[in-house]
Amino acid sequence: MTILVILLAMNNPQYNIKLTFGLYALAGILFALYTSRVCPFLATLTTREIATQVSVVFFLAWLIRHTLLRHHSWAKKQQFNQLDTCLLFCISIPFAAYYNFHYQFTLDSNLKVLFGMTLFGFFTGALLQLSAKLRTLRQTSQAMTVTLFSLERRSLVNQLIGLIFILVCTLTIVLSMVALKDIYWLENHPTHLLDGSGKISILKEFIFLSLVLGGYVTAILVLWSRVIKEILVHQEHSLQAVTEGNLQVRVPIYSNDELGNVAMLTNQMLDSLETTQNEVKTTRDVAIVSLSALAESRDNETGAHILRTQEYVKALAEHMAQSSKYKPLLTPNYIELLYKSAPLHDVGKVGIPDSVLLKPGKLTDDEFAIMKDHPHIGAQALAIAEKHLGTSSFLAIAKEIALTHHEKWNGTGYPAQLQGENIPLSGRLMALADVYDALISARVYKPAFSHEKAKSIIVEGSGNHFDPGVVDAFLAVEDKFITIAAHFKDSE
């Protein structure tokens, strides 16, 4: 068993010459020991004769396997079980014939040679096939997929039942052959029965063969369990990514069996979920555009203002996401939601009378009090939508931005006079983006300010109007702000 584990530990990403040679050498050694324990005629040969003959035969088998059969279709499909079983069976025929003609061994002796070599071919092929599959699983990305309909369906349960059946039959046949050989031996050497040495010899043979068969069986089952575990781990990782919101990942399909079929059905479900999610996202984006357009239609601000502010917010968020303080919150998914929700920051203006909203001059105190209600109106409208549509991260962030983008870091903003980090980060980001764009944009009551002047006003407001952390991010990405403003200019 130790030898098997050492041999199976040898990895080669391509054709594993060392592993194949090692398993063939091991099979040859064990076959030489096997023959003298199951056949009374083979037991009459000297150790040197058996060692020489078996070494030549198994080296020849490995040479054929390495040269002529290396690129056989079974080898390309990693069907080493069939390949090695058939190879050693075919070679055992002339080998048995050699014993028959050269030593005049009986037919039952020839059959034991055929059975033994075929058996070790089966074990060797099974180990090579499972180790090759395990290497493939470990070296292939999780995107690997086997087209199920291009492969013959092989039930995992039936494979396991078949393996157990073969092993039970093998154990029964081998032990029966040993028993018959020992009966023949005791009949011709009765003194060994009388002095008790015969019983000990028979017991040793049974233990030896049980250990050999048990070692192969254990190695096969260990490899099989590792293959299944590797498949399940890959599928688990894929499904974990799905639970985290990544519906583009697919469960890898490695074989056409029960596990492969479950993976295929899971992927079909994920295809359906991704399609549904894309439809929901499209509906969401249409709703955002529609609501934003509604707000624009009643305001002096242009559509370019909405485009610029959402780009500003995204630039600020992406920079702040590099900080360990904000990284847990500012995930790529959250930043995307910020970007999509930003256009709704002034949706509450639809509830402000035209006499106030469209007034070209400075607002009176009463008019400004009415204007200050638009964050609450927008948040209330989005809250109603959230109530009807259920919990939605998109609506939650949109409501947050609409309600808090006029709050100030020092607590003098509106509508709730929130202070410091009590203001949601989404609102703090939108506050700077909204003010910056208002400063650099021309209005009926003021000309457009330069970037430098807008920058100085924002820096002056750090710690009072704006979150100092957001101002630092603004200074770090001010070139992006300039580029965004130039790209989304107001139409003349």
- Residue 407 tokens, joined: 């709050």
- Residue 10 tokens, joined: 């040898």
Q: What is the CATH number of the domain that holds 475?
A: 1.10.3210.10
Averaged pLDDT for residues 317-329: 94
Expressed in percent and rounded to 5, the helix, strand and coil fractions of the chain are 75, 0, 25
Do residues 303 and 239 share a domain? no
* Lowest-confidence pick of 130-139, 320-329, 434-443: 130-139
Do residues 161 and 59 share a domain? yes
Q: Which DSSP category does 333 fall into?
A: H
In-domain check, residue 272:
no
pLDDT more than 70, % of the chain? 82
Task: Specify the pLDDT at position 149.
Answer: 42
CB 289 within 8 A of CB 478: no
Interatomic CA distance for residues 257 and 420, integer angstroms? 58
Torsion sign over Cα 360, 364, 365, 369: negative
Query: Which of 102-111, 143-152, 258-267, 399-408 ranks highest by mean pLDDT?
Result: 399-408
Query: Which of 71-75, 283-287, 348-352, 415-419 ranks highest by mean pLDDT?
Result: 415-419
Name beta bridge partners: 466.
Answer: 462
Task: Specify the pLDDT at position 202.
Answer: 61
**Beta-carbon contacts of residue 267 (< 8 Å; ≥ 6 apart):** 250, 251, 253
In-domain check, residue 290:
no
Interatomic CA distance for residues 116 and 128, integer angstroms? 18
Taking all residues of the chain, what is their mean pLDDT, rounded to a whole number? 82
Helix (H, G, I), strand (E, B) or coil at 381: helix
* Lowest-confidence pick of 22-36, 148-162, 356-370: 148-162
* The length of the chain, given as a count of residues: 492
In-domain check, residue 357:
yes
Do residues 205 and 326 share a domain? no
Interatomic CA distance for residues 127 and 173, integer angstroms? 21
Residue 169 scores a pLDDT above 70: yes
* Lowest-confidence pick of 148-162, 208-222, 322-336, 469-483: 148-162
For residue range 221-260, list pLDDT tens digits in order: 899 889 888 888 888 888 888 887 788 888 777 777 777 7
| 396 vs 390, residue with greater confidence | 396
Point out the domain boundary residue: 243, 264, 288: 243
Using a cut of 0.85, tell me whether the model's pTM lies above it. Answer: no
Helix (H, G, I), strand (E, B) or coil at 466: strand
For residue range 27-45, list pLDDT tens digits in order: 999 888 877 666 666 767 8
Interatomic CA distance for residues 382 and 400, integer angstroms? 9
Do residues 231 and 329 share a domain? no
Point out the domain boundary residue: 199, 219, 243: 243
For the chain, how many structural domains are there in total?
A: 2
- Residue 99 tokens, joined: 């014993």
Task: Specify the pLDDT at position 102.
Answer: 83
Do residues 308 and 228 share a domain? no
- Residue 358 tokens, joined: 């469209």
Per-residue pLDDT band for 153 (boundaries 50, 70, 90) equals low
Residue 490 scores a pLDDT above 80: no
Task: Specify the pLDDT at position 146.
Answer: 47
Per-residue pLDDT band for 151 (boundaries 50, 70, 90) equals low
For residue 369, the Cα-to-chain-centroid distance in whole angstroms is 55
Torsion sign over Cα 102, 103, 104, 108: negative
Which helix (H) or strand (E) segment holds residue 79: the answer is none
Do residues 469 and 370 share a domain? yes
Residue 200 scores a pLDDT above 70: no
Q: Print burial letters for 160-198: b (CB count within 10 Å at least 16), e (below 16).
A: eeebeeebeebeeebbebbeebbeebbeeeeebeeeeeb
Task: Specify the pLDDT at position 5.
Answer: 39
Interatomic CA distance for residues 290 and 350, integer angstroms? 12
Task: Specify the pLDDT at position 416.
Answer: 93
Burial of residue 491, with CB atoms counted within 10 A of its CB: 0-12 exposed, 13-18 middle, 19 or more buried: exposed
Do residues 90 and 191 share a domain? yes
Averaged pLDDT for residues 345-349: 88
Interatomic CA distance for residues 334 and 251, integer angstroms? 25
In-domain check, residue 258:
no
In-domain check, residue 200:
yes
- Residue 445 tokens, joined: 């009551």
Do residues 95 and 238 share a domain? yes
Which residue, 427, 383, 381, is CA-closest to 406?
427
Domain with 373, as residue range(s), is 298-487
Averaged pLDDT for residues 389-401: 79
Task: Specify the pLDDT at position 143.
Answer: 45
In-domain check, residue 380:
yes
Helix (H, G, I), strand (E, B) or coil at 9: coil
Do residues 23 and 144 share a domain? yes
Q: CA angle at residue 128 from 125 to 133, to 5 degrees?
A: 125
Do residues 429 and 341 share a domain? yes
Task: Specify the pLDDT at position 467.
Answer: 97
Cα distances (Å, whole numbers) of residue 171 to 164, 174, 200, 211: 10, 5, 20, 11
Residue 391 scores a pLDDT above 70: no
Task: Specify the pLDDT at position 228.
Answer: 86
In-domain check, residue 138:
yes
For residue range 72-112, list pLDDT tens digits in order: 888 887 788 889 999 999 999 999 888 888 888 777 777 77
* Lowest-confidence pick of 217-231, 382-396, 473-487: 382-396
Do residues 353 and 476 share a domain? yes
Do residues 337 and 454 share a domain? yes
In-domain check, residue 262:
no
Averaged pLDDT for residues 49-76: 89
For residue 99, the Cα-to-chain-centroid distance in whole angstroms is 55
Q: CA angle at residue 115 from 113 to 120, to 5 degrees?
A: 95
Burial of residue 36, with CB atoms counted within 10 A of its CB: 0-12 exposed, 13-18 middle, 19 or more buried: middle
